[in-house]
Chains A and B, each alone.
Chain A
Amino acid sequence: MDAEFRQFVTARSAALLRTAYLLVGDWAHAEDVLQTALTKTYLAWRRLGEIEAVEAYARRVLVTTATSWWRRRWHGERPTAVMPDRVMPDRIDEQIERQALWRQVHALPARQRAVLVLRFYEDLTEVETARVLGVAVGTVKSQCARALATLRTRLAEDGVEPAANHQRHMERKA
């Protein structure tokens, strides 16, 4: 049992850690969330049996732990120790806009942020996202729409317009 569990962790912990980071906003707390999720997954291992079920279980408990952790402990923005991307001279605007978007994502309610991470990082469908969060598909749709609307409003207030950034991408490609 322990060998199988170690194999699962070796294969999946890095991916789960990335998701945890997107949900909670810094690596130290992401590691805590991952550890909690893995502990619960290990406890459940014998009941789950198949690796597919374990993967789904681990993801669910990770998201649940992250959202509840955030609700209890998150009180503000935390600095990132590692800049996420090298800033090239011609990408400074893009980098600034991306950081603004990152800040605004983490100002969203935990549930809405979880929906965005599952939909646009994990690339889950609305049905899959609903299953992970344990909510109705309609809730995923409404939470996602509300989150995107909030982001558009707040980015506009910050003077950031994703469409303009996208336009520059298209021009560079052309």
Chain B
Amino acid sequence: MGLLEDELRSTFAAHVTAPPTVDDPAGRAIRSAGRTRRRRATFGTAAVVVTVALGGVGIGMLKSPWSGSGIDDIALPALTSPTAAHAPVDVLAGGTIVTADGRVISLPNQTTILSAARVPDGWLVETDETGLATLWYIDPAGQAKAVVNGDFLTISGDGSKLAWRKGGTVSVGDRVGSTVTPTAQTTGTGLLGPIAFAGGGVVLGASTKGLGYDTFEMWYPAKGAYKSGPSSTDKILTPTADGSELWGLAGADASCLALIKPQSLTAVQTNCELDVAGVHKIFPSPDGRWLLAVGTERVDLYDLATVWTAKGPNWSWPVAGQNVAAWMEGDTFVLGGEFKLVQIDVGETKPTDIPVAGTAERFLTPIPSLGG
């Protein structure tokens, strides 16, 4: 060992002899994680045409700490082969988007990328900076511009409207590229913040008991400022495919699949015969035919024509650890995975692994399309 190395050891040791006392770091981390998870769920409830859901128990959208880390010695495999198998969807891979046509786009250098969605004019990417969410617009050339930030943030099903809360003010606005034109604002929502667009209004959610939203109300920007109205303690998960109603879990222990009317926030249909207790995300297919329920241990698919009288799912796959699904054209959807994607065709019992060319990242997540 050389002399300078010895000096470095001594110098490092000498400089950390008197660390300050940190007040309840575990408690602060748990509270911050709760905010992050709620925002992931918020982004997830936004999608209508193709639904994305983030958070819950999974961390598929959490940027892996050992990937895309800014350590720029990690070389992405060159996209040199014209016959390389590209994924059927854009893929979030560490700090990059690997597009379906094989391009690799670097994302803003943020510590945590919560989610990404394809919109007709580019991509929308949500990042987190220790409690503050930022939405970025990535243009087709790969240039990133910040759009809005706040402690709540949600996107309409077609990607053209945003709702966010910042400093106690909830705003909605129209988005074109990276430009947002605010159309309405309100205050007085208390703990409630925007988590989805549905039924011509904005679904507001709050977490009062722990992780996840447990209280919901509606705000109708066209009618003026927020006024406290009907509230729900059913677990709202995502809008229906046409955005007119909401999917959720009803019952004291959230054990019943429920279709919830936004105007009254009451369940208009329920089925308590289904095993949905472990479901944390729901993805309706864009054509409104299927409902994909993602739980901690499996993925269940329900035919919406028969779901209210069903005793169980039409199909079920033992796929654990997922929190994002992207519906493709036809009866096919794609889940994330480690070093691959997983494609499932309705009716097929065995998922198909899809290798993704153009990235060496471990955690791969399909990027759903909005408004396309």
Contacts and interface: CB of A to CB of B under 8 A. Distances in A.
Nearest to A35: B28
Interface in B4-26: 4-20, 22, 25-26
B212 to A, nearest CB: 13
Contacts of A31: 20, 22
Interface in A74-132: 80, 82, 84-85, 97-98, 101-102, 105, 110-111, 116-117, 120-121, 131-132
Nearest to A65: B111
B57 A46 contact: yes
A116 B111 CA distance: 22
B20 A9 contact: no
B253 interface: no
B182 interface: no
A67 B71 CA distance: 8
A5 B66 contact: no
A120 B69 contact: no
B66 A60 contact: yes
A68 B69 contact: yes
Contacts of A6: 26-27
A146 to B, nearest CB: 12
A132 B66 contact: yes
Given A85-B17, A105-B11, A121-B13, A133 B69 contact: yes
A11 to B, nearest CB: 11
Interface residues of B, number: 49
Nearest to B110: A68
Contact of B15 (A13, A102, A110, A165): A102
A50 interface: no
Q: Which of B71, B72, B130 has the most CB of A within 10 A?
A: B71
Q: Which of B5, B26, B32, B72 has the most CB of A within 10 A?
A: B26
B25 A34 contact: yes
B73 A139 contact: yes
Main secondary structure of the interface of A (DSSP, over half): helix
Contacts, number: 160
Nearest to B210: A2
Interface string B181-193: 0000000000000
Contacts of A63: 65
Interface string B23-41: 0011111101100110000
Q: Which of A38, A117, A155, A163 has the most CB of B within 10 A?
A: A38
B12 A121 contact: yes
Contacts of B25: 9, 13, 34-35, 38
B58 interface: yes
B307 interface: no
Contact of A148 (B5, B37, B67, B72): B5
Given A84-B14, A134-B74, A35 B36 contact: no
A135 B73 contact: yes
B109 A68 contact: yes
B19 A21 contact: yes
Contacts of A17: 19, 22
Nearest to A117: B12
B65 A98 contact: no
Interface string B52-78: 000001110010011101111110000
B321 interface: yes
A129 B52 CA distance: 36
B359 interface: no
B3 interface: yes
A30 B59 CA distance: 24
Given A44-B62, A162-B3, A101 B11 contact: yes
Interface of B: 2-20, 22, 25-30, 32-33, 36-37, 57-59, 62, 65-67, 69-74, 109-112, 130, 321
Interface of A: 2, 5-6, 8-10, 13-14, 17-18, 21-22, 27, 31-32, 34-36, 38-44, 46-47, 57, 60-61, 63-65, 67-69, 71-72, 80, 82, 84-85, 97-98, 101-102, 105, 110-111, 116-117, 120-121, 131-136, 139, 148, 151-152, 155, 162-163, 165-166
9 contacts: A18-B19, A36-B130, A40-B65, A67-B69, A72-B109, A80-B15, A102-B11, A116-B8, A120-B12
Given A6-B26, A60-B65, A116-B8, 7 more contacts: A44-B59, A84-B17, A98-B7, A98-B11, A133-B69, A151-B4, A155-B4
